[in-house]
Amino acid sequence: MAFYEMGTAEVYAAGQRVAGQATAATTLAGQYLASLATAHDTVRHPVVAAALARYRDVWQPRVNEVAPQIDALGTNTSSSAVVVAQSDEDSNALLAQQGGLVSEQGSTLLRPVNA
């Protein structure tokens, strides 16, 4: 019996789908940076070329971080689903064990409850 009403299989699968988007993000980042490099090489005006170079320098680290962060988000989401499922099973086993111990314990009342 699940106590934490979460569809862990669905959450796990969603995390895998998110992590799978990291490859596409890497491709898009490469295309974006290549477009900036092409624009830099195409313009003839030195001020515009310098502005494009500065722009690329500012955004390149951030653009390169997107794909690993997408992968981490998906992987961590899937991992959390596994942890929740395992924790739910552990808690169910512990509750059953405690329930058994309680039912084995005899009453400590000196007289019957309904007397």
Say if residues 57 and 33 touch (Cβ distance below 8 Å): no
What count of other Cβ atoms lies within 10 Å of the Cβ of residue 85?
17
CA torsion sign for 91, 94, 99, 102 is negative
Q: State how far the Cα of 75 lies from the Cα of 26, in Å rounded to an integer.
A: 16
pLDDT at 93: 83
Per-residue pLDDT of the chain (115 residues; tens, 9 = 90+): 556 677 889 999 999 999 999 999 999 999 999 999 999 999 999 999 999 999 999 999 999 999 999 999 999 999 999 998 888 888 888 887 777 666 666 666 666 667 6
Q: Determine the straight-line distance between the first and last CA of the chain, rounded to whole angstroms.
A: 37
**Cα–Cα–Cα angle for 63, 61, 29, rounded to 5 degrees:** 25
Q: If residue 9 lies in a helix (H) or strand (E), which one and from where to where?
A: helix 8-20
Interatomic CA distance for residues 64 and 67, integer angstroms: 7
